[in-house]
Amino acid sequence: MKFFIDSADIEAIKALSDIGLVDGVTTNPSIIAKSGRDFKDVVAEICTLTDGHVSAEVVATEAPDMVREGRTLHAIADNVCVKLPLTLEGLKACRILSAEGTPTNVTLCFSANQALLAAKAGATYISPFIGRLDDIGLNGLELIRDIRLVYDNYGYETEILAASIRSVNHVRDCALIGADVITAPPAVIRSMAEHPLTDKGLKAFMKDWEKTGQSI
């Protein structure tokens, strides 16, 4: 499974990259707006931190404008992946950009039917939003399971990029189901290393070691 970081926080991305936990990065206009910096500058800097895809989202709503913005974004760096909304206009733009060899991430997916359309449009990634489905009383993980089955039935190469990850349990369950990628905030990725029994065991080991008076 690939780990993408859902953030525009340069230092947080660097910290996880140093451990080898960054296979790519996802951003959106809301995330980058919080940085207070120029959109293109942020994307360019993030692209230097990973060889993997960095999703940068268009803001247009009509296909011709999406294509124009997508070409502009991809020109920032070779590893920019153009993020497009799952609308008919977005799918039209996905088809054009994908045919040009530009990686695409079709986002805001909430049904297996939408995911099927994105795969047929040639999307590199489909981004189903788990947490947002959970928020309205549905089971976001069931969507991941359904998309996995549909894609495997027909051999689609579009990768399932599980998004709107809220917890370490989401990550575990996505791995069990077979999502290709998860994208999560840095705090969720860091939390995956935590367990109270690990802390308890380490504390006991250190206490016993101190009693020996030795050093390594």
Give one word for 207, left, alpha or beta, with left for phi > 0 and alpha for psi -120 to 50.
alpha
DSSP at 180: S
Known catalytic residue at 83:
yes
Contact 124, 104 (CB under 8 A): yes
Q: Which of 2, 14, 34, 83 is labelled catalytic?
A: 83
DSSP at 163: B
Residue 89 burial (10 A CB sphere; 0-12, 13-18, 19+): middle
Q: DSSP per residue over 29-48, as a string?
A: HHHHHTTTS-HHHHHHHHHT
Query: Can you tell me the distance from the alpha carbon of 57 to that of 189, in angstroms, rounded to the nearest whole number?
Result: 23
Active-site amino acid positions:
83
